[in-house]
Structure 1
Amino acid sequence: MTTLTFDSLNPATGAIVGSHPKHTADAVHEAVGRAEQAAAWWAALAPAERRTRLLDYKAVLTQHLRELAGLVQEETGKPAGDAALEIVLAVNHLDWAARNAAKVLGRRRVSTGMIGVNLAATLEYLPLGVVAVIGPWNYPVFTPMGSIAYALAAGNAIVFKPSELTPGVGVRLAELFKESVPEQPVFQTVTGLGETGAALAADPRVRKVAFTGSTATAKRVMAACAENLTPLVAECGGKDAFIVDADADLQAAADACLWGAMSNAGQTCAGVERVYVVDSVYETFMRELSERVTKVKAGEDYGPITMPGQVDIIKRHIDDATKSGRVVTGGPDSVRGAYVDPVIVEDVPEDSPSVREETFGPTITVRRTRDAQEALELANASAYGLGGTIFARDRRRATELARMMRTGMTAINSVISFAGVPALPFGGVGDSGFGRIHGADGLREFARPKAISRQRFALPGMNLTSFTRGPEELERLIRLVTFLHGRRKR
């Protein structure tokens, strides 16, 4: 029987990078079966042994960093430096997950309180089993490894379905893992189109799905998961806002804003798409931004649009913005095949598609605001809520604005910096999804809490969970609870 294949292409040149099988539902079923057996073996290893294997995998990835970055560059078109940077970040997260899993997830005693004075209680987090990871193409190492590394550290086996645009990267990640864990298929990659991912999400033996992609696709994945009550962690992109307060370092703000919006051709889920600048510094900020953007070139500083269909969305948003707003740089002619030159447009109405919908391209809209409070209100008036940025010198004020921003993460006087801190959870609210990867929350996301209580001794005259309980025992309980909790505090 002939195995159907598909090609991955270099979006910058159109050249074929590699051919990969379109794994059928039966092939996915077999992979999950292998993973189920491997999961039992992996979970049975001592946490210290898993830690050693994962740290060895970290070393293997580091040794192959240049090779892997070259493959990322070929399949996405991004510059080699950007490809290397995302692998460095992934390695850093893998290191943190391996070193902290036992401390975060291991068994610990918890207080039983006065009512449970005769009990001992413990809490630990146990592996789920098989975790399915459905990854994106924009950061084909860093983003899926944010789920893969933490799920592996929590003791699970992985079946990874990479984007059909970057299958070679996903295959290579699993191949390199075998150098550290050759005994069992703890980490497998299946390749294919949407049907392959759907078969993986629908398999009842998968205990959790980690998905990164569009909100629309997340809803379809969630529907497939619902058939088996399979839990889902979903990261669905954003429309992130960048607020510049009156006391901001405007040079630093302009520099960060431009990089956050244009790096990776704007194909960053937590990238800058909307900018709100307080009136008193607006003109100065715009001069800084306008001067800097002239030095940023598509094809040099960032690569092509990786997914061909995204170009139509970007063009539609540019057309909309330039008709209703004032062009600072770029315009409809900025779309040149797979490449899009930087586009900055001022005063675009807040109900425009270019402000409301995720663009995922090297474009930003900029708006003048009365003050930071108005900027915050506009930033929060979005269905999305992934990340955001505040630039302000007053640390207390900046922190207050960051806390009130309706996002899962906010960076102050930096851009997207939260993604590089392994101890911080990554995820959003609203149409940006739910659940968290990274950090202690990311480890617990791929584990199940196990609570155990043990009676150490019987309480004399207080056997409350028995049909032999008398009214005297209940009265003693009521008196105890009244003593402990009956005093009002004002």
Structure 2
Amino acid sequence: MESIQKTVSPVDGSIYVERELASGDQVDKTLLRALSAQEQWRSLPLEERVALCSRAVDCFVDNKDQIADEITWQMGRPIQFSGGEVSGFEERARFMLDAASSALKPIVLPKRRGFDRYIKREPLGVVLVIAPWNYPYLTAVNSIVPALVAGNAVIIKHSAQTPLCAERMVEAFLKAGVPEGVFQFLHMSHEETRHLIQSGGVRHVAFTGSVPAGKEIEKAAAGQFISVGLELGGKDPAYIREDADLDVAVESVLDGVFFNSGQSCCGIERIYVHQSIYDDFLKRAETFVNQYKLGPAHNPETTLGPMVRTSAAEFVRQQVAEAVEQGAQKLINEKKFPQSNSGTPYLAPQLLVNVNHSMRIMHEESFGPVAGIMKVSSDEEAMKLMNDSDFGLTAAIYTQDLEKGVELGDQIETGTFFINRCDYLDPSLAWTGVKQSGRGCTLSELGFEAVTRPKSYHVKQV
């Protein structure tokens, strides 16, 4: 089995990082260090854990320029946007640090016949975070900070595409004074990851990735009686009602389609437009998309970078070609994006019309810079189509009738519902999904529930 992990940069095809994969013995020793360190870590007052983690965030942000550059080379995000990942990391971390005292405080019940009754939130022990490459810090921070603040030890295994992200986070926490063993990283094979989950020492797994990989995580955890949080795929829809502000809708929805080259779990992949404004929407959409500048991610003028690897781009090309064979039409002239070439990760942005739900492009996750657009005649038709999916991560409606928008939102099977925006995480709101988008919850005060367990106290006064 290959013992060296190589990260090929989508920017130029070069090997950007090489790391030796951990052996079974190294994995076991890392787990033992975590188990030992966690006992002392949990005994620290909450205020001290918060202060150390806050200092770690400072150390992380101080390294923003290097981190942003590494993101660009590892996964291909345009350099002008990569620094936003660091800012987003800080925003979410600060929120969860501020929320910890409220989220973790004991629940004290009214006194009853000489009894004191209350519920404490206990740390689980060791939390394994398995993080993806597409938002390598934003996804990881959702679980790491609440887990650490709650008194757990954390081991992070990052994607083979973004190994430096795990290293940079751990470096920042060690520099801030978090004790060794409390937060560690491992570069592991799938086999060693499965071994760690089944070791008996891990009490929670936080995974972000594909549906097939999520199923493998569940299989590995079966019979261990541990909790698993899964943020999986999406095929997120947006509905443009006839009363929508088209200027707002076009810019917002298309940014939701194409930001990060469409490689977002909550990116918009299906657009439904009321027939009365359909033609106007298409004209504006075509103009908007043609403004993108596809090119190497390290070029400051690039607004649309390569996909993470050539195979991912070829998958989207196949989806598009199949849809066209079935009658779909391309709205965007790909010749306007000369960097886009078959056999490379550089892919032109595309919008498809004359599509329907029999096409893969409308029901299979694309995870690339493409979306299908369908004309609808009513709210009822839009709701039916939006719910016709195996996924349910986010959904958006664009309307000036907010009351009606909320009423329609109540009918949509989704974890997060937006009106007049999309593709955004507010750390004060719970981040969750339904159907094949996964299960569990991160962010908000509710996110602390995944990394703690309730412990009830029933004290009789004598």
Range of TM-score over shorter length: over 0.9
Contact 1:389 1:413 in 2 (8 A): yes
Q: How many percent of aligned residue pairs carry the same amino acid?
A: 28
Please point out which of 408, 411, 416 is paired with 2:418.
411
State whether structure 2 residue 353 is matched by structure 1 residue 350: no
Contact 1:329 1:342 in 2 (8 A): yes
Deviation at 1:280, TM superposition (A): 1.3
Who is 2:42 aligned against? 43
One-letter amino acid of the counterpart of residue 360, structure 2? P
Give the Cα separation in 1 of the matches to 2:286 and 2:403: 30
Q: Structure 1 residues 345, 219: CA separation in 2 closer, same or farther (over 3 Å shift)?
A: same
Please point out which of 423, 430, 439 is paired with 2:428.
423
Who is 1:26 aligned against? 25
Give the Cα separation in 1 of the matches to 2:403 and 2:208: 34
Count of aligned pairs: 451
Please point out which of 110, 118, 125 is paired with 1:122.
118
Who is 2:312 aligned against? 310
Deviation at 1:370, TM superposition (A): 1.0
Who is 2:381 aligned against? 374
Give the Cα separation in 2 of the matches to 1:199 and 1:308: 31
Contact 2:115 2:460 in 1 (8 A): yes
State whether structure 2 residue 394 is matched by structure 1 residue 394: no
Deviations 1:4-55 (A, max 9, x none): 3222221111122221111122221211111111111111110000010011
Larger Rg: 1
One-letter amino acid of the counterpart of residue 326, structure 1? Q
Q: Structure 1 residues 105, 335: CA separation in 2 closer, same or farther (over 3 Å shift)?
A: farther
Give the Cα separation in 2 of the matches to 1:321 and 1:193: 36
Give the Cα separation in 1 of the matches to 2:74 and 2:437: 25
Q: Secondary structure at the match of 2:276?
A: helix
Deviation at 1:87, TM superposition (A): 1.6
Deviation at 1:330, TM superposition (A): 4.6
Q: Which stretch shifts more, 210-219 or 196-205?
A: 196-205
Give the Cα separation in 2 of the matches to 1:335 and 1:31: 44
Who is 2:67 aligned against? 68
Q: Which stretch shifts more, 325-334 or 314-323?
A: 325-334
Who is 1:228 aligned against? 224
Deviation at 1:119, TM superposition (A): 3.0
Deviations 1:81-139 (A, max 9, x none): 32211221111111111121121111131247xxx544331112111110000010111
Deviation at 1:254, TM superposition (A): 0.6
Structure 2 matches for 1:206-221, cutoff 5 A?
206-221=202-217
One-letter amino acid of the counterpart of residue 181, structure 2? P
Q: Structure 1 residues 335, 452: CA separation in 2 closer, same or farther (over 3 Å shift)?
A: farther
Q: Which stretch shifts more, 92-101 or 210-219?
A: 92-101
Deviation at 1:143, TM superposition (A): 0.8
Give the Cα separation in 1 of the matches to 2:310 and 2:210: 15
Q: Structure 1 residues 350, 330: CA separation in 2 closer, same or farther (over 3 Å shift)?
A: farther
RMSD: 1.8
Q: Secondary structure at the match of 1:329?
A: coil
Deviations 1:315-367 (A, max 9, x none): 22111222221221156995541111111001212021111110000000000
Contact 2:52 2:178 in 1 (8 A): no
State whether structure 2 residue 447 is matched by structure 1 residue 442: yes
State whether structure 2 residue 331 is matched by structure 1 residue 328: yes
Structure 2 residue ranges without an equivalent (≥5): 296-301
Contact 1:251 1:285 in 2 (8 A): no
Please point out which of 176, 179, 182 is paired with 2:175.
179
Give the Cα separation in 2 of the matches to 1:169 and 1:320: 36
Give the Cα separation in 2 of the matches to 1:454 and 1:384: 46
Normalised by the length of structure 2, the TM-score is 0.94
One-letter amino acid of the counterpart of residue 26, structure 1? D
Give the Cα separation in 1 of the matches to 2:275 and 2:109: 52
Give the Cα separation in 1 of the matches to 2:149 and 2:341: 43
Q: Structure 1 residues 272, 452: CA separation in 2 closer, same or farther (over 3 Å shift)?
A: same
Contact 2:306 2:346 in 1 (8 A): yes
One-letter amino acid of the counterpart of residue 135, structure 2? Y
One-letter amino acid of the counterpart of residue 208, structure 1? H
Give the Cα separation in 2 of the matches to 1:308 and 1:216: 20
Contact 1:153 1:443 in 2 (8 A): no
Q: Secondary structure at the match of 1:404?
A: coil
Who is 1:10 aligned against? 9
Give the Cα separation in 2 of the matches to 1:28 and 1:75: 25
Q: Which stretch shifts more, 16-25 or 60-69?
A: 16-25
Who is 1:202 aligned against? 198
- Larger relative CO (CA 8 A, sep 6+): 1 or 2? 2
Who is 1:460 aligned against? none
Q: Secondary structure at the match of 1:252?
A: helix
Contact 2:312 2:345 in 1 (8 A): no
